[in-house]
Amino acid sequence: MTVLTLGSAAPDIEISSTGDKTLRLSDLKGKNIVLYFYPKDNTPGCTQEGRDFRDLSERFAALNTVIFGVSRDSVKMHEGFKCKQEFPFDLLSDPDEALCGLFDVIKMKSMYGKQVRGIERSTFLFDSRGNLVREWRKVKVKEHAQDVLQAVEGLN
């Protein structure tokens, strides 16, 4: 599997989304895309990150930008998380790690002294031409959504 690098086009794979939709990022040309990968629904850091993007979502929308959160959780679990947190954006379900693999976000992590495979919190920004223009890896939640918004503002 080829890993996306800066300058790469948005991937042309189908992925299941909340709202009973199937999405292809490659179909969103004309809009900027923020794709943030997070480990698990309903956990403290992931909830805060989603809330931060939620709270800035109108500003992203005003800049012709759509936001998607991605984890390995099921669409059903995503639906509950999205509803509970009032996210105005869709969450993408990647249980087979197809999208995670393209972005190389599955890493070995230490959890309670054991090595486990999990999503390394990461965010990717595609411009309106569908090209990957920024990436953030090993993301710390605090002020991250604001940093991404500033990067989007720099595109326009």
Mean pLDDT over all residues of the chain?
93
Residue pLDDT, tens place only, 63-106: 999 999 999 999 999 999 999 999 999 999 999 999 999 999 98
Which of the residues 25, 46, 99, 133 is marked catalytic?
46
Per-residue pLDDT tens digits for 100-123: 999 999 887 776 788 778 899 999
pLDDT band for position 1 (50/70/90)? low
CATH code that applies to domain 30-155: 3.40.30.10
User: What's the pTM?
Assistant: 0.94
Active-site residue flag, 46: yes
- Domains of the chain: which residue ranges? 30-155
Question: pLDDT band at residue 11, thresholds of 50, 70 and 90?
Answer: confident
> DSSP readout, the chain?
-PPP-TTPBPP--EEEETTTEEEEGGGGTTSEEEEEE-S-TTSHHHHHHHHHHHHTHHHHHHTTEEEEEEESS-HHHHHHHHHHHT-SSEEEE-TT-HHHHHTT-EEEEEETTEEEEEEPPEEEEE-TTSBEEEEE-S--STTHHHHHHHHHHHH-
